[in-house]
Amino acid sequence: MKTAILFPGQGAQAVGMGKDLAEAFPVARALFDRASAVLGYDLAAICFDGPIEKLTQSCHAQPAIFVVSMAALAALQQVRQGVQFAAAAGLSSGEWTALHLAGVVGFEDTLKILKVRGEAMQAACVERPGTMMSVIGADPALLAKLAQESGVEQANFNSPEQTVLSGTKAGIDAAEVALKAAGVRKTIRLPVAGAFHSALMASAAQQLEAALADVVLLPPQLPVVSNVTGQFHTTPDEIRRLMVRQVTGSVQWVQDVQRLQAEGIQAFVECGPGKVLSGLVKRIDKQAALYNISDRSSLEAAAPALAS
């Protein structure tokens, strides 16, 4: 089967992530050491011991999830030498992990980008406070109408049944009232610091654009799907533009998975903390073979099934 590798983004963090992989695989531990040297603080300590409040801060969470994802992949590559993937995708900050795997940007530069991205998003949360809400089971046309009327944006198209709204607290409050009045069965407030993937993140996008100006990006050596377009990335210049747009734009995850399906992808390996992406893919492609590698036990369960 043609297999794609998927990488999670911010929100997947959990205290203890990556610890057993680092203890079992020196190649995984080495990535944490390299990252700490670049970032100027002990990333492993924050990942392994927390506290969760510190790990959840965008400036820590985004580099941390990237490194844990790459540590899980490094462990898989050691256990299953020669394992190959036909394409890659990542959700939000996880798209940078996919681009790194594709050879677009180096390990150290990816860390620096995610540090800037995380710090800028944190600052934007303070400058222009907001929140996010997951909506389950709403008619797409109705949801789009009520979101617009409430002054909020559709931030994440996670599955055919689940869309995440983003905006000011007052806007999200208004949207929730309107949706419940319209008979929408379920809304969930998300425990996030701000209104990610909305216009409230404009200052963060500007800072990321400035930071990327001096970073060398190379053509992808592996197909990577864009969150913004739902199509495969092409040139370095286009990647630079789309990754800036991604900060304020909607994450088209349903289109991403459907694009991979169109390429004949039948199996998906989620590499990194959590199982959120596997759950979303299952709702989009019910026939897909799904594997998750987040720790040593899940690695041992998935590795035998992955062809080299």
Round to whole Å and give the CA distance between 301 and 295: 10
Q: What is the mean pLDDT of residues 55-83?
A: 95
Q: Is the pTM of this model over 0.85?
A: yes
Residue type (1 letter), 287: Q
Where do the domains of the chain lie? Answer: 2-126+198-305, 129-189
Instruction: Quickly tell me which residue has 């001096």 as its tokens.
Output: 214
- Asked if the domains 2-126+198-305 and 129-189 are classified in one and the same CATH topology, the answer is no
Task: Please give the positions annotated as active site.
Answer: 92, 197
Confidence tier at 244 by pLDDT (50, 70, 90): very high
Round to whole Å and give the CA distance between 102 and 219: 8
The phi and psi torsions of 72 (rounded to 5 degrees) equal -65, -40
| Cβ atoms of residues 187 and 133 within 8 Å | yes
Predicted pLDDT at 307: 65
CA 291 to chain centre: 17
Round to whole Å and give the CA distance between 43 and 263: 37
Q: What is the mean pLDDT of residues 261-290?
A: 96
What is the CATH topology of the domain spanning 129-189?
Answer: Alpha-Beta Plaits (3.30.70)
Superfamily, domain 2-126+198-305: Malonyl-Coenzyme A Acyl Carrier Protein, domain 2 (3.40.366.10)
Share of the chain above pLDDT 70, in %: 99
Confidence tier at 256 by pLDDT (50, 70, 90): very high
Predicted pLDDT at 193: 85
Query: Strands across the sheet with 153-157, in order?
Result: 153-157, 162-167, 131-136, 186-189
Predicted pLDDT at 185: 86
Round to whole Å and give the CA distance between 163 and 140: 9
CA-CA distances (angstroms) from residue 238 to 177, 228, 243, 253, 301?
A: 39, 11, 8, 19, 38
Q: What is the pLDDT of residues 88-134, one digit of tens each?
A: 999 999 999 999 999 999 999 999 999 999 999 999 999 999 999 99
Q: What is the pLDDT of residues 162-207, one digit of tens each?
A: 999 999 999 999 999 999 999 998 999 998 889 999 999 999 999 9
Round to whole Å and give the CA distance between 288 and 270: 12
